[in-house]
């Protein structure tokens, strides 16, 4: 068994390295995802008309105190 494993390891070590999907397209996929992410959030933050007033001052009116 050990000789078979050793033989397989030597055979695979001599095999030429073949680039896989991540080696070929990894950076391209990453850049494409970053571009989509950036464009979608740019649209959301600029075009959807969201009010970004984070302070509650002036919006919350006090009610009369009941005794």
Residue with structure tokens 């009941």?
Answer: 66
Residue 9 has pLDDT above 70, yes or no: no
Output the CA angle 17-18-20, nearest 5 degrees. 130
- Domain 1-47: top CATH class: few secondary structures
User: By C-alpha distance, which of 40, 60, 36 is closest to 48?
Assistant: 40
**What residue spans define the domains of the chain?**
1-47
Rounded to an integer, the average pLDDT of 50-54 is: 67
pTM of the shown model: 0.48
pLDDT (tens digit, 9 = 90+) per residue, 28-40?
999 999 999 999 9
Confidence check: pLDDT of 20 > 80: yes
* DSSP state letter for 18: -
The pLDDT-based confidence of 14 (bands split at 50, 70, 90) is low
């Amino acid at each position: 068994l050990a000789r078979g494993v050793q033989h397989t390891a030597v055979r695979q070590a001599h095999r030429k390295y073949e680039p896989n999907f991540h080696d070929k397209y990894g950076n391209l996929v990453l850049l494409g995802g970053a571009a989509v992410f950036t464009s979608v959030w740019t649209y959301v933050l600029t075009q959807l008309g969201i009010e970004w007033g984070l302070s509650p001052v002036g919006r919350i009116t006090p009610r009369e105190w009941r005794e």
